[in-house]
Structure 1
Amino acid sequence: MFNHYPEWAQEFAQKYLSRTINQFILHGNVHDLVPLDRENNNFVRLKTFLSEEFFGARDYVIFYDRSSGIYFRDGESKKDFNRALSGRDSLMGTDYANKLPKDPVRVFSLLEQYFRLRIDDKKSIALIIDYAETIVPMNEAGSTGSEDRTSMVYLSRWAHDPMFLAADFTTVLLTENLADLNKTLVQNPYTNELKINIPDEKQRKNFIHFEVGEDKFGGLSNVSAEVVAQQTAGLNFINIRSILSNARENKETITHHRLSEAKKELIEAEAYGLLEFVETHYTLDDVAGHTKVKEHLRHAVQALKNGRRDVLPMGYLVCGPVGTGKTFLVNCFASEVGIPMVKLKNFRSQWQGVTEGNLEKILGLLKAMAPVAVMIDEADAYLGDRDASGDSGVSSRVFSQIATFMSDTRNRGRILWFLMTARPDLMPVDLKRQGRAEEHLALFPPHTKEERVELFKVMKNKTGLELTEEYVPKTIEQGLKSFSGADMEAALTRAKFRAAAQGMGKVTPEILDIALNDFLPPTYPEEIELQTLSAVIECTSKELLPERYQEMDRGDILEKIEDLKLRIG
């Protein structure tokens, strides 16, 4: 009977027909179109689907949101409601028939009286509440306002009142993020929540053919409909319609580049600017040193390209002293593997419940965008801790959300996490354990002559430094000074500055030597040693460690780390 409905709607129908629940929360992709899988295929707005298709046989379908107030599926429903309201006005001396209230308390009072009248008449009713988070928002019990509490009472009563349960009556609440709703309502045993997911590849392909037609698509795009469907992972139907309409109305042919740029803009907008796409033209060939780590990552690249997602770790913890190129390495990996890389921006908010809602939105998008790599820099500070306190439990809830999502084995090889930190010892064990950030990679400054020269040449290309002749400074060859990748980049930039100050386009060996000898990197020897030893002890593969660290006694390292922590304070 409901086979032409999407999966969530089929589940909705089955649960309602059980006659044990009459209140439902629809969350997720609620502002998109709904596909109807019939011979002619059709896509309609969610509220249209609910009122005309899903509840099409109901006598009355009523809508409510704070902005629009009460409105109706059709004129007959409105007339019937106004007739009932006129009778109430004459008894109570009010004038609601001419001017309906919009605030939840008065609206729910009017609706309850109307519902009871029509249920007595054996009529069937559906109430659809949009932007439900503005009616019963997420709040701590002690900070909930009287209006919110009253709204909660009405909704709870309708959910378990025997009269409402026995009748053909349904309340549907719509919200993007479940975390934005009052927890008491969400966890109510008389309420059921259903998630509407972002469209999958098959649905996206069907929508493209519905919007344009198979025979006309070639005139709009240099890319096949199948490829467009693949490359629009993470976008909803409205987003895809925007891309197709732009091509149709502005005569801008869809290309790989335009599709990539449009997807980037639309997803960043959908995520409220909390996700940022990371792009680079560098590859792992541009990473100096870290030979064994690069080889290990290239095996992961090959596994992904061969479709062997089952052999990949759930995530990587990339650690090492500051300046060793952790972020650059991960960027280069993303460029080489050919999947999008996103960086999580600050999703935390001072407002109650907003942080959890932001995170729910982000995690939902990541799942829809898969395969995708996720970069979190300074992960020890960014992700918080299960035991965090002082913010009404927000940090611990955020930590729990991320940890649970990271450990979902269905995402293995589809969502690849890269957690980067110079202080892995400050990371909670829950995130570093197997099943989450499984592979721990350690990066170190160059140690051998070959590593130092390689770093110099790579950074020379990266900074665009041009020498008047081929030259490798003795300071680099002989290791007279220790340079991390960041130090080398800064020193070579200073050499370019000195040459420019003398009106020269290229750098002479003499100027380069002067710049390198003059450069004094900020020196925090104990902090750097602590970061280095923490990376050694954290690495989960002995063969990925430089030889000088492979045979070090782990007990001695741990003692040294504790001693450094005490000295640094």
Structure 2
Amino acid sequence: MFNHYPDWAGEFARKYLSRTINQFILHGNVHDLVPLKRESTTEFVRLKSFLSEEFFGARDYVIFYDRSSGIYFRDQESRKDFNQALAGRDSLLGTEYADKLPKDPVRVFSLLEQYFRVRIDSNKSIALIVDYAETIIPMNEAGSTGSEDRTSMVYLSRWAHDPMFLAADFTTVLITENLADLNKTVVQNPYTDSIRINIPNQQQRAQFVSNELKEEQFQALSEVSKKVVAQQTAGLNFINIRSVLSNARENKEKITHRRLSEAKKELIESEAYGLLEFVDTDYTLDNVAGHTKVKQHLRQAVQALKNGRRDVLPMGYLVCGPVGTGKTFLVTCFSNEVGIPMVKLKNFRSQWQGVTEGNLEKILSLLKAMAPVAVMIDEADAYLGDRDAGGDSGVSSRVFSQIATFMSDTQNRGRILWFLMTARPDLMPVDLKRQGRAEEHLALFAPHTKEERIELFEAMKKKTGLDLTEEYVPKVIEQGLKSFSGADMEAALTRAKFRAAAQDQERVTPEILDIALNDFLPPTYPEEIELQTLSAVIECTSKELLPERYREMDRGEILSKIDELKFRIG
């Protein structure tokens, strides 16, 4: 019956025709175009145009309202009828609203309610569309809700369950990008239903590209096929894609893999309010020193993804180990090999009520639309919070619940791959570390054998661009006279380059390198490092991935030592 409608609109129509609900919240991709199938073509129209002219096209009156524009109408007939009703009210009550309509929600809703009741009595059909609903009934704790917000909620709640409105052909539509931005009293009202508008899928994106550019035009503007364009624009909405195509058309810039990738990153970071950052690197796992077993394991995941075996992949990884062991570098290098985009979550928390949950809702929606995608969260023990966190009106616990629920959605297996990194996995809540969320726990450790130390030296020599006058491996590294983590090694080799530059030398001699390495004193926190190391050992979910020296250690003794170290560190 609703085949020419997008899925969300079909759901909307079915729910309305059940005649039990007349108030709906549309949220998600609400600022995009809506595909509307005709007999032989597909049109792409703005959401409000779709609602007023197509979805509610048979209604007698369609009225719009937002704080900026105030009340406005689908057509002149609706406006004329409303003005006539308002003129009658003005003459009766001595007001002058016909000359200048109010814009604040309290007075607007008061006028509208009187108008609705009169027209419903005359068997007229009405639709009210409230845009930017979060500015009318914003998310607030009950005690901090202002009088204007409370009055607006009363009007909306009354219209949703008043028998007169329910029996009439009357609908209220609230439009907002993030459901979390709306007051929960309205969102959770049993007389109100919410419908998500998703970001376009690959088939819809391909259809849109074909609709925007005829075949000859597309061939002239693109070096890649329409299928590739549709695949590469995952996470973008129709308006974003139109901007990519328009740029190619107006500026005569060919659409290439690189241009698509750059445009996608720029547009998605903008859509996410700068709260998502794409992770780019020229390094691969070949540039990671040591961690041989972990690299093998990750490469098996890469192969599974490339073979389309997403069903065998874990929901996510917990990557732990002492500071300086290269957790972030390892995951970044993995992102270059895996062939799917990797993003890093930036700080989405806000001091303003409701904004944090809204930011997170937006981010999670984008991640789902971008899939397949890998997500990196550094310092996860501090970043993700805890279900029992307090002191912030419950924001942290709600954020934790949103992320935990999203991570455990099995539909995302192999589509959204999580990497949670921490030096203190013992501080992370069990809810996130359990099977079904961060299922694989990988542990990284400082180099222990001669081969590992030399491999780390060679890798950091390449990374820092250290140019030696001759092939040379320092004794302090070869014999393990000092312990260097990856971060320590990088810092020490950079100091060697500094010493050479101070002596006006382009290249580093073995003598200068020895002096720099012997002089280097890394900040030492032995008990903290030991605690981080043992926590990583006890956290690792695969005995095979542990270095040999840790495999046969008694777990009871390790736990006792961890408790002792925690007590001593305080």
Q: Would you call these one fold, judging by a TM-score over 0.5?
A: yes
Question: 1: distance between equivalents of 2:269 and 2:167?
Answer: 45
3-state SS of paired residue (1:105)? helix
Question: 2: distance between equivalents of 1:257 and 1:7?
Answer: 33
3-state SS of paired residue (1:193)? strand
Question: 1: distance between equivalents of 2:141 and 2:368?
Answer: 29
2:11 maps to 1:11: yes
Question: 1: distance between equivalents of 2:197 and 2:354?
Answer: 21
Question: 1: distance between equivalents of 2:10 and 2:36?
Answer: 12
1:479 maps to which residue? Answer: 480
Question: 2: distance between equivalents of 1:513 and 1:282?
Answer: 28
1:289 maps to which residue? Answer: 290
3-state SS of paired residue (1:373)? strand
Give the residue type in structure 2 aligned to 1:16.
Answer: Y
1:20 maps to which residue? Answer: 20
Structural mapping, 1:499-514, within 5 Å: 499-514=500-515
1:259 maps to which residue? Answer: 260
2:475 maps to 1:466: no
Structural mapping, 1:50-65, within 5 Å: 50-65=51-66
Q: Post-superposition shift, 1:213?
A: 1.6
Question: 1: distance between equivalents of 2:79 and 2:27?
Answer: 27
1:124 maps to which residue? Answer: 125
Question: 1: distance between equivalents of 2:70 and 2:426?
Answer: 54
3-state SS of paired residue (2:221)? coil
1:217 maps to which residue? Answer: 218
Question: 1: distance between equivalents of 2:383 and 2:219?
Answer: 46
3-state SS of paired residue (1:387)? coil
Q: Post-superposition shift, 1:76?
A: 0.6
Q: Post-superposition shift, 1:214?
A: 2.3
3-state SS of paired residue (1:195)? strand
Q: Post-superposition shift, 1:98?
A: 1.1
Question: 2: distance between equivalents of 1:402 and 1:213?
Answer: 42
Question: 2: distance between equivalents of 1:497 and 1:490?
Answer: 11
3-state SS of paired residue (2:258)? helix
3-state SS of paired residue (1:552)? coil
Question: 2: distance between equivalents of 1:248 and 1:290?
Answer: 48
Give the residue type in structure 1 aligned to 2:169.
Answer: D
2:495 maps to 1:520: no
1:276 maps to which residue? Answer: 277
1:547 maps to which residue? Answer: 548
Give the residue type in structure 2 aligned to 1:448.
Answer: T
1:250 maps to which residue? Answer: 251
Question: 1: distance between equivalents of 2:42 and 2:362?
Answer: 29
Structural mapping, 1:16-415, within 5 Å: 16-38=16-38, 39-415=40-416
3-state SS of paired residue (1:158)? helix
Give the residue type in structure 1 aligned to 2:262.
Answer: E
Identity between Structure 1 and Structure 2 (%): 87
Q: Post-superposition shift, 1:464?
A: 0.4
- 1:453-501 CA-to-partner distances (Å, cap 9, x unmatched) read 0000000000000000000001110000000000000000000000011
3-state SS of paired residue (2:567)? helix
Question: 2: distance between equivalents of 1:366 and 1:4?
Answer: 28
Give the residue type in structure 1 aligned to 2:265.
Answer: K
Give the residue type in structure 1 aligned to 2:454.
Answer: V
3-state SS of paired residue (2:174)? strand
Q: Post-superposition shift, 1:40?
A: 1.2
- 1:23-74 CA-to-partner distances (Å, cap 9, x unmatched) read 0000000000000123211100000000000000000000000000000000
Q: Post-superposition shift, 1:223?
A: 1.1
Question: 2: distance between equivalents of 1:76 and 1:393?
Answer: 48
Q: Post-superposition shift, 1:426?
A: 0.2
Structural mapping, 1:485-500, within 5 Å: 485-500=486-501
Q: Post-superposition shift, 1:109?
A: 0.3
Q: Post-superposition shift, 1:317?
A: 0.2
Give the residue type in structure 2 aligned to 1:554.
Answer: R
Question: 2: distance between equivalents of 1:217 and 1:117?
Answer: 54
List runs of 5+ in structure 2 lacking aligned partners. none
Question: 1: distance between equivalents of 2:563 and 2:316?
Answer: 27
List runs of 5+ in structure 1 lacking aligned partners. none
- 1:492-523 CA-to-partner distances (Å, cap 9, x unmatched) read 00000000111111000000000000000000
TM-score normalised by the chain length of structure 2? 1.00
Question: 1: distance between equivalents of 2:489 and 2:130?
Answer: 59
Question: 1: distance between equivalents of 2:127 and 2:290?
Answer: 65
Question: 2: distance between equivalents of 1:298 and 1:178?
Answer: 39
3-state SS of paired residue (1:219)? helix
Q: Post-superposition shift, 1:258?
A: 0.9
Question: 2: distance between equivalents of 1:76 and 1:40?
Answer: 30
Question: 1: distance between equivalents of 2:390 and 2:168?
Answer: 46
- 1:234-286 CA-to-partner distances (Å, cap 9, x unmatched) read 00000000000011011111111111010000000000000000100000000
Give the residue type in structure 1 aligned to 2:150.
Answer: R
Question: 2: distance between equivalents of 1:336 and 1:128?
Answer: 48
2:423 maps to 1:447: no
Give the residue type in structure 2 aligned to 1:357.
Answer: G
Give the residue type in structure 1 aligned to 2:24.
Answer: F
- 1:414-464 CA-to-partner distances (Å, cap 9, x unmatched) read 000000000000000000000000000000000000000000000000000
Q: Post-superposition shift, 1:544?
A: 0.2
Question: 2: distance between equivalents of 1:104 and 1:321?
Answer: 55
Count of aligned residue pairs for this structure pair: 569
Question: 1: distance between equivalents of 2:37 and 2:526?
Answer: 65
Give the residue type in structure 1 aligned to 2:415.
Answer: R
Question: 2: distance between equivalents of 1:524 and 1:162?
Answer: 70
Give the residue type in structure 1 aligned to 2:533.
Answer: T
Question: 2: distance between equivalents of 1:167 and 1:156?
Answer: 16
Question: 2: distance between equivalents of 1:307 and 1:283?
Answer: 21
TM-score normalised by the chain length of structure 1? 1.00
